[in-house]
Structure 1
C-alpha cells in the first residue's frame, strides 16, 4: 500500500495507531529505559511554537561527533514537521541520548551541508539511507551523487552541546523544560 503524500510529495504525518506506535519509544525514555534504544536514537525535548507546551519526539541520529558534542538529525517528514518548526522558533533545548541529558542549540544545515551529511551517511548505513530516500520520495541509484542530491532536499539539523557556563541562561529563559540537564 503506497504511503499517503502531501501536495509537495513528502510523506504525510502518521495518524491513529501508526502515530501511537511511533511515539512508544518516548515512554521508554520517560521510564528511564532510553539506553535500551541504543545510540542511533535520541529523545528531543522541544517547546511548541504556538502552544508553548513541552513536547517530545524520538528521532534517529544521522551523525554523532562525540568529541565536538554534536548530533545531526534529518527531518524525514520535511521542513513542516512540528519538531523542526519548533526548533526554528526556539533553537535551545534539551536532548537525551542514551542515559545522558544534554543542553543543545539547533543549527539548520544548508542544502550543500545536507548533501555532505547524506553522502557520508549512505555508505555507513546503506539500507537505511535507501529506505529514508524512498520514504521521502527521492529516487537514488546507490551512487554517492544520488545521495548527495537527496541530501540537498532533506532538512538537516545539527544539535550542538552548550558549554556548562551557558546553562543558567537557558534555564532562566523558560525554554522547553524546567529540569536541569546533566
Structure 2
C-alpha cells in the first residue's frame, strides 16, 4: 500500500454533487440509500451552527445499534473535527433519527474495519481507496494498512431524548 496523494475536499460542482444526498434526506427520502449511507448532524466547532453531511456506513452493529464511519478525507475533514469537539449528536438512517455519541477508534480497529469492508464491497472498496489517494494490490493486508491511515468513528446510540446538533429538525 502506498499513498499517492490525499484528495482535497470537493469544491464547486463536485461539492454540489457530494451534498445532493443531504437534500434527499431533508425530503424524507433517506430510505433510498438503505443502510449504506447516513446523515450525520454535527455542530460547527467554531461557528456553533448546525451542520450536516452524508457519509457511508462502514459497518452497522445490530446488537448495540452502533454505526462505524470513516473520514475518507482524513483527520482534517470538518465533520470529523466537529465530532471530536462535540461528540453528542444525531444521525438519520433511512427515516429514523437517532441520538448518538461519537467515539474515535484506534488505528488497529480502523484497519480491522477496512479489512472487513473490502470483501463485502469489493468494487466500492477499490474505488474508495483510489479516490482517497491510496494504491493497493487488493489484499486484505493492503486494505488493513489503508484503514490504519484513516480516522474511524463509532456512533453509539444514546437513550436520552435530546437529539443533539438539531437532529430532530
TM-score of the aligned structures, taking structure 1 as reference length: 0.87
Aligned-partner SS, 1:44: strand
Q: Confirm whether residue 125 of structure 1 aligns to residue 121 of structure 2.
A: yes
Matched, 1:9 2:5: yes
What residue in structure 2 maps to residue 73 of structure 1?
Answer: 69
d(CA) in 2 for partners of 1:179 and 1:26? 15
Partner of 2:89: 93
C-alpha distance in 2 between matches for 1:97 and 1:51: 26
Show structure 2 runs of 5+ residues with no match: none
Q: Structure 2: how far apart are the matches of 1:159 and 1:63?
A: 10
Q: Which runs of 4+ in 1 moved over 2 A?
A: none
Deviations 1:125-158 (A, max 9, x none): 1111111111112221111111111110011111
Q: Distance in 1 between matches of 2:60 and 2:79?
A: 19
- SS of 1:134's partner is helix
User: What's the CA shift for 1:29?
Assistant: 0.8
Paired position in structure 1 for 2:102 = 106
2:143 matched residue in structure 1: 147
Structure 1 residue 37 and structure 2 residue 26: aligned? no
Match for residue 64 of structure 1? 60
Q: How many residues align?
A: 166
> Gapped runs of 5+ residues in structure 1?
1-7
Q: CA RMSD in A?
A: 1.5
Determine which structure has the larger strand proportion and give its number.
2
Whole-Å separation in 2 of the counterparts to 1:30 and 1:138: 33
Q: TM-score if structure 2 supplies the norm length?
A: 0.93
Pair 1:179-2:164 in alignment = no
Larger relative CO (CA 8 A, sep 6+): 1 or 2?
2
Q: 1:160 is matched with which residue?
A: 156
Alpha-carbon distance between aligned partners in 1 of 2:110 and 2:32, rounded to the nearest angstrom: 29
The structure having more radius of gyration, on CA atoms, is 1
Structure 1 residue 178: Cα displacement: 6.5
For 2:26 and 2:55, locate their aligned partners in 1 and report how far apart those are by CA, in whole Å. Answer: 15
